[in-house]
Amino acid sequence: MIFKKFFKKAKFEKRASELDSNIEEIPSHIAIIMDGNGRWAKRRAMPRIAGHQEGMKTVRRIARVADELGVKVLTLYAFSTENWKRPKTEVEYLMSLPEKFLDEFLPEIMERNICVQMIGEKEGLPEHTKRAINKAMEKTKNNTGLILNFALNYGSRAEIVKAMKSMMKEVQEGKLTIEEITEETVNQYLMTSHLPEPDLLIRTSGEVRLSNFMLWQLAYTEFWFTETLWPDFDEEDFMEAIQAYQKRNRRYGGLTD
């Protein structure tokens, strides 16, 4: 066990030394689709909730390293609007995780100057879940470090439809004209209006789809996929994704030499 920890630390330090630590080369906004908790538990003949519990530990690890690397925003896809279709016991457990996570991690969040935010529909969440989120957001609202942004009860298509309805209402009321609707206008009506668009999207567990996550915002984001299940995803994996990002040439549809 000691040798394993030493070997892991050595690999981590090697990866860190290879990383371009120039703050301009670190992605400003990283979004992660945290996938594979259930499969992680199944492979160990454990209940699915054990995978979610282990995945919560990974959230803490990755939030810490993101903060230390100088990432400005870390958006985590925690619960989608489609996840309500899962078994009731699993959904109930998932809805208890924000309270458990934030109660345990909040002192460190405050110490690290991290600001907790959320995108998604709060109205559909249980009261205890809303209380935990609201408490963390209120306590950290003046923090100026990493924005730890949870996508909870979030679905991108619903977000876009809601934005369209809001714009149409303002057009009907004469507050907005058709000619004034641009990409920038649409951005202002999205839940992420106050955030930069993601530079890097990470998805774990080998799946290579977006699953209704930030469809508008990811238009020019760099994608990085890994077979690693979320509970096994560690600091070295995170830095590997950033290192891959740093080697890419972001052209935004244009040409470069």
52 labelled binding-site residue: yes
Measure the CA angle with vertex 183, ends 179 and 189; round to 5°: 95
Q: Are residues 201 and 98 in the same domain?
A: yes
Q: Are residues 175 and 139 in the same domain?
A: no
pLDDT, tens only, 77-94: 999 999 999 999 999 999
86 labelled binding-site residue: yes
Burial class (CB in 10 A: 0-12, 13-18, 19+), 194: exposed
The reply to whether 129 falls in a domain is: yes
Average pLDDT over residues 230-241: 97
Supply the CATH number for residue 50's domain.
3.40.1180.10
92 labelled binding-site residue: no
Active-site annotation holds for 153: no
Q: Are residues 52 and 178 in the same domain?
A: no
The reply to whether 54 falls in a domain is: yes
Whether the predicted pLDDT of 106 surpasses 70:
yes
Domain count, the chain: 2
pLDDT, tens only, 128-181: 999 999 999 999 999 999 999 999 999 999 999 999 999 999 999 999 999 999
Q: Are residues 223 and 188 in the same domain?
A: no
82 labelled binding-site residue: yes
Q: Are residues 45 and 166 in the same domain?
A: no
The percentage of the chain sitting over the pLDDT mark of 90, rounded to a whole number, equals 86
Q: Are residues 190 and 176 in the same domain?
A: yes
203 labelled binding-site residue: yes
Q: Is 136 in contact with 97 (CB distance < 8 Å)?
A: no
Q: Are residues 182 and 232 in the same domain?
A: no
> Which residue's structure tokens are 């469809």?
215
Q: Assign 19 a pLDDT band (cuts: 50, 70, 90).
A: low
pLDDT at 2: 45
Active-site annotation holds for 143: no
Q: Are residues 71 and 166 in the same domain?
A: no
Tell me the C-alpha distance between 183 and 167, whole Å. Answer: 12
Q: Is 58 in contact with 230 (CB distance < 8 Å)?
A: yes
Domain that holds residue 169: 156-195
22 labelled binding-site residue: no
Q: What sign for the dihedral angle of Cα 105, 110, 114, 120? A: positive
pLDDT at 7: 45
Query: Residues in the chain, how many?
Result: 257
24 labelled binding-site residue: no
Whether the predicted pLDDT of 100 surpasses 60:
yes
Tell me the C-alpha distance between 193 and 184, whole Å. Answer: 9
Tell me the C-alpha distance between 41 and 183, whole Å. Answer: 42
Q: What is the CA radius of gyration of the chain?
A: 19
The reply to whether 254 falls in a domain is: no
| Annotated active-site residue in 20, 22, 35, 153 | 35
The reply to whether 212 falls in a domain is: no
pLDDT at 253: 63
Tell me the C-alpha distance between 226 and 204, whole Å. Answer: 5
pLDDT, tens only, 179-215: 999 999 999 999 999 999 999 999 999 999 999 999 9
Q: Are residues 134 and 201 in the same domain?
A: yes
Measure the CA angle with vertex 146, ends 161 and 143; round to 5°: 100
Provide the residue type at 230 as one letter: W
The reply to whether 236 falls in a domain is: yes
The reply to whether 88 falls in a domain is: yes
256: left (phi over 0), alpha (psi -120 to 50) or beta: beta
The reply to whether 230 falls in a domain is: yes
Name 30's bridge partners: 74, 200
| Annotated active-site residue in 67, 83, 149, 234 | 83
The one-character DSSP state at 83 is G
